[in-house]
Amino acid sequence: MNLKGLATGVGSLPFKDPVPALDLIFNYLPQAPFWPQLPKMNAQEGMLAQFSQNLPGLQFNAGAVHFSALNIEQELERFYEKFIAQDLAYFQITSAFAQGLYLFFERLKKEDLSRIEFIKCQVTGPFTFCAGITTADNKSILHDEILFQAMVKGLTMKALWQLDLFRQFGKKIILFFDEPYLTGIGSAYTAIERSKVVEVYSELTAHLKTENCLVGIHCCGNTDWSMLTDIPGIDLINFDAFNFQERFLLYAQNLKVFLERGGVICWGVVPTQEYNSTITAQSLNVKLMAGLELLIKKGLSRKLLLENMMLSPACGLGTLDAQKAEAILSLLHQTSLLVRKNL
């Protein structure tokens, strides 16, 4: 690969209609477009609800995902029957929960595919997903090992279903797991240990790596980045480079090993919540190049850094207004063009 600043998106956009969302994606991110999650359109498009269908014990009603233990043994039995059979249709994300995905699929049929290098998809990561759903006694299912393992497998199947769906376009697929919960690893606020994250994602990615895709993790806060570089099946790490670049660079030696085994760093250099019109592609390019130079001084290969670099917004845009989201994607596009021109 020779990415050199190729731009893609994170996932969510603040539109109530998929069409303008797709127009922006194909206009500003033509080489690595993604299907848009649209949480403002309806509650089914939220990051928990969107991937909850047919997972054991989960029900979507009153605008949220709830857990019920009433028939959990039967549901787990049926779930594992479908999982063992690798029944992808059972784990599909239906159009009622992802209108942007289906319209993206139809749009790809009409697009000039020659300009597309990657198709980018996403799933809410299992730690974030399970942390957001509680049992009747108000405990997170993250801490119920039986349920957690089932959710990991179910979300893996949701990922495999996407890979199967988009395979017909003949493009390399990037599949990101969105994991904002990982910002708490190592703190007093979460009981999940670093080793658990490495164990779970090592197992999860093993199921996906046979599909000739690139698997990434997006975390929009600070975390123990060595945790992610230590997972053999992770190909991309996407971080908030606008706010956390200096902390991320503290892991230079871990990143060196990651890059040397073929890893890609996706720099979320364009701010989301902090965006304002005074921020320019030139200023972001300066910030990005300063980070690269620091890593080079620490012994990382300039060639590897440049050839294995993508750009993105710092986080999803679903909570913003449409005008601001378009400005951010425009700035991302301009920054990518400038970076690629100067490299």
Q: Would you place residue 187 in the very low, low, confident or very high pLDDT band (cuts 50, 70, 90)?
A: low
pLDDT at 191: 77
Say if residue 188's pLDDT is above 70.
no
Domain that holds residue 235: 6-342
Question: Could you tell me if residue 106 is inside a domain?
Answer: yes
Dihedral of the CA atoms 270, 275, 279, 282 (nearest 10)? 10
What's the rounded Cα separation, in Å, for the pair 47 and 227? 23
Is pTM, for the whole model, over 0.85? yes
DSSP label at 37? Answer: B
Which pair of structure tokens corresponds to residue 102? 């289906």
Mean pLDDT of 158-170: 97
Cα dist. 75→56, 69, 81, 127, 161 in Å?
5, 9, 10, 21, 20
Q: How many domains does the chain have?
A: 1
Question: Could you tell me if residue 206 is inside a domain?
Answer: yes
What's the rounded Cα separation, in Å, for the pair 186 and 178? 18
Question: Could you tell me if residue 1 is inside a domain?
Answer: no
Half-sphere exposure at residue 343, Cβ-oriented, CA atoms within 13 angstroms? 26
218 bridge partner residues: 178, 238
What's the rounded Cα separation, in Å, for the pair 304 and 170? 26
Three-state DSSP state, 66: strand
pLDDT tens figures, 89-123? 999 999 999 999 999 999 999 999 999 999 999 99
Mean pLDDT of 116-141: 94
Cα dist. 103→13, 40, 186 in Å?
14, 17, 40
Q: Would you place residue 184 in the very low, low, confident or very high pLDDT band (cuts 50, 70, 90)?
A: confident
Provide the CATH number for the domain around residue 181: 3.20.20.210
pLDDT tens figures, 192-215? 889 999 999 999 999 898 788 999
